Structure 1
């Protein structure tokens, strides 16, 4: 029997994982094979996601994590998300951040202001900058080259892990360039790697429903594949909870794994949950905590070709973020010295470096600060030696000041 019916829903239903008990030999066999490093099919992943007992699913995922990282280390990074404009023509239905061109609340950050923010981040021991913003029709490739060049000239030690495939599509359109030309020029201007921004969900039906003006999922993936071949690695992300079916969730994972088989360019997979405030979706379709944790575990079992899996404390809360470390995750993300996009849709969770270190340690892992390439910068083996600078904390900045008017 097929696990997917004609409507794309699972034939076993949208269960919460209480079905498929210990006597289910097929589920047990799939879990054992995946835990030992064997590849599972999308159909098997769907069965595990909808039917495997939660504890058995988490145990198998944690077994994979332990085999990959026998040192018991779980990582975090210090970075800053800098939003350079909220003006956007894509009008995604889940986004609370964007404003249409000529909107009274639209703004653009001055290049000097962006560089100054990078300086503040360096002072707080950040090693990575994530530049992200709207698809502003006034921004061609030259604007991005100017900004990247200015940052690298002032702070060459900062890794620019920024933009995403959607920005490449936008820049190609505004500047009349091909995707490889855009990627090459961004790389030469100082971009070190692409963020997974704009992935949302890659399967066709739900992506078109929530972002009808954004490039299709297969185009997003083709841009990333091109970037990988040109020497720019990236992360892969998933925003779950916007009305997609279980089968469509697994379809998103399959599309990413297929590209990873060809390129090996995705450093990590980062699932997170849709936030419901101040956007057109209105919170009608959110993913539950259980659905999120099950997805994290299945992702660790399914992605035999992606090294790292990051849990999200920002969208699910610190306690749930900590639980992901028992469901296969080896990274707890960023302190985030600044974040405006997801917080504008309702994410209000905050943390600091000391708290992230404590969350990792009390989960039974050894905390370590990493860089963009997942290299360990500081391993916090001795609590007595933990850093104490309370300024290294997440912060949801006002986007009102200081800004340059777009008009």
Structure 2
């Protein structure tokens, strides 16, 4: 790495870009205007180098994955976000609602396996309440007592906790008693109110998303953070979104991972926008890695990106590629992602990481390394 560090900055003609590059190489935090400048002016080769330097400083040569599966209890939802291909109305032939027996059957499929995490997230069902969410967790834990339950987006949590007339902290503590271990990062989208008014006007605000994650962290519940990119947002909107998350992380230290999620255009009202290209995906991963200096891990979610593009994202700062999944999620397949039946074996995951020149390692849900694959 050292020879690369010494040769990058002198070859840049743009003085401000050279200044930013020197800061990154020295491990200094870059400011929002500098992140926007990287988006606008830095070429892809420079971004790859800077992101790799940053990732190497934080995580060495490890790229992580876990053994996981998803439960998506319903795609009925009180909200109708314009970017969403997952939402269906009651009576739609593509809609579903799982009861507790259905969830039990799914959990039983993994009773004798070595999976370590279940990810539970779905639509916001109009009739479900906090106790039903808790019973879902309890049902899984009765079958898989050692499983880590990462469950419910801040949007789901906001709806059921408000319905229960509890504070966010009280509602989260109640779910923790049921067995909740951590919460995912979904529902963040883009925090900017004007953008949010156009893409998800009836959904909880960015401030609400941040408040719920803050309450989780303060009650010993770690979480992830996401950003939906590639629709109507600008680079400035992306950076403002990341800055809000970075500021909360400075305060609580509760985020494990940042996950850029690409807008996919199939089967939703925003499909006319199309999708950003791979170059933009990689640019976004790199700037995210450089800017989010206090969140240790950056995830390239392979069901969203596709397997080949995930390998490329590792060269732009990603050090986590999610997990085995076992064809248990439909959120991105319904939006037209390449991976229509998302499943990966451990052998395939480790091969992907090695092909990117990195060291594969299995992690748990809180990013403790379980096994390094030499």
Settle same-fold status: TM greater than 0.5.
yes
- Bigger Cα displacement from structure 2, 193-202 vs 122-131: 122-131
**Residue 78 of structure 1: SS of its match in structure 2?**
strand
Report the 3-state secondary structure (helix = DSSP H, G, I; strand = E; otherwise coil) of the residue aligned with 1:107.
coil
Matched residue, 2:344: 352
**What's the RMSD between the two structures over aligned residues?**
1.6
Partner of 2:197: 208
Q: TM-score, normalised by structure 2?
A: 0.92
Shift of the alpha carbon at 1:283? 4.3
Q: CA deviation at 1:255?
A: 1.2
Give the deviation of 1:113 after TM superposition. Answer: 1.9
Residue 9 (structure 1) aligns with? none
Residue 109 (structure 2) pairs with residue 120 (structure 1)? yes
Contact 2:111 2:143 in 1 (8 A): no
Aligned partner of residue 185 in structure 2, secondary structure: strand
In the alignment, does 2:373 pair up with 1:380? Answer: yes
1:78 is aligned to: 67
| Residue aligned with 2:288, SS | helix
Q: Given the two structures, how large is their TM-score scaled by the length of structure 1?
A: 0.85
CA distance in 2, matches of 1:278, 1:104: 15
Shift of 1:210: 0.9
Q: Which residue of 2 aligns with 1:27?
A: 17
The answer as to 2:71 corresponding to 1:94 is: no
Kept after mapping to 2: 8 A contact 1:172/1:179: yes
Aligned position for 1:4? none
Q: 1 CA distance for matches of 2:79 and 2:143?
A: 32
C-alpha displacement at 1:157, in angstroms? 0.9
Residue of structure 1 equivalent to 2:275 = 286
Structure 1 residue 105 displacement after superposition: 5.1
Hey, what's the Cα distance between the residues in 2 that align with 1:31 and 1:115?
Answer: 52
Q: How many residue pairs get matched?
A: 360
SS in 1 for 2:125: coil
Gaps of 5+ in 1: 1-20, 382-407
Tell me what 2:59 maps to.
69
Distance in 2 separating the partners of 1:35 and 1:121: 45
Structure 1 residue 175 displacement after superposition: 2.3
Q: CA deviation at 1:174?
A: 2.6
Distance 2:258 2:276 in 1: 18
Whole-angstrom CA distance in 1 between matches of 2:91 and 2:329: 24
Higher helix share: 2
Q: What is the CA–CA distance in structure 1 between the aligned matches of 2:40 and 2:21, rounded to whole Å?
A: 13
Task: Give the corresponding residue for 1:185.
Answer: 174
Deviations 1:351-371 (A, max 9, x none): 522222111001111111111
Q: Does 1:36 align with 2:26?
A: yes
Q: Distance in 2 between matches of 1:346 and 1:128?
A: 25
Question: What is the distance in 2 between the residues matched to 1:336 and 1:28?
Answer: 42
Could you give the per-residue CA deviations for residues 86-139 of structure 1, whole angstroms, max 9, x where no partner exists? 211111111122223565654321212212212323544221111111111110
Unaligned runs of 5+ in 2: 1-10
The aligned residue for residue 151 of structure 1 is 140
- Matched residues in 2 for 1:254 and 1:234: separation? 17
In 2, the alpha carbon distance for the partners of 1:194 and 1:228 equals: 10
Q: Say whether residues 1:315 and 2:300 are aligned partners.
A: no
Once the two structures are TM-superposed, the CA of residue 206 in structure 1 deviates from its matched residue by 1.6
Structure 1 residue 362 corresponds to structure 2 residue 352: no
Are 1:233 and 2:213 counterparts? no
Q: How many angstroms does 1:147 deviate by?
A: 1.4
Give the drift of 1:298. Answer: 0.9
Q: 1:181 Cα shift?
A: 1.8
2:7 corresponds in structure 1 to none
